[in-house]
Amino acid sequence: MKLEILSEHSEKHQCTAQKDGDWITFSCPDPGCGYRRRYNWRTRETHVTEGLDPFVLHEGYCLPPGLDVRNAPYN
């Protein structure tokens, strides 16, 4: 389940993900933003570098290699 509460003026950036060992790094592709979230999927430790605008929402996902569910139907 995904729940989003947005106003009509909410700005949203789609982050890219890169896996390095146990860490997944989500980075904002907007060069002026600077948002980055590092997540250790084993320990659930999280480190966040906030972007310049705290009201911009960031989202992203990381899939195992070879798995693409972007066009899969929802149940």
The mean pLDDT of 49-73, rounded to a whole number, is 76
Q: Which residue has the tokens 């909410």?
A: 10
In a domain, residue 66? The reply is: no
Q: What is the mean pLDDT of the chain?
A: 81
Contacts of 60 (CB under 8 A, 6+ apart): 14, 15, 16, 17, 26
Domain count along the chain: 1
**3-state DSSP assignment of residue 21:** coil
The mean pLDDT of 16-38, rounded to a whole number, is 92
Q: Which domain holds residue 30?
A: 12-59
- Report the share of the chain in percent with pLDDT over 70: 72
In a domain, residue 49? The reply is: yes
In a domain, residue 47? The reply is: yes
Q: Which residue has the tokens 């989500």?
A: 26
Please say if the pLDDT value at position 48 is more than 50. Answer: yes
In a domain, residue 17? The reply is: yes
Please say if the pLDDT value at position 3 is more than 50. Answer: no
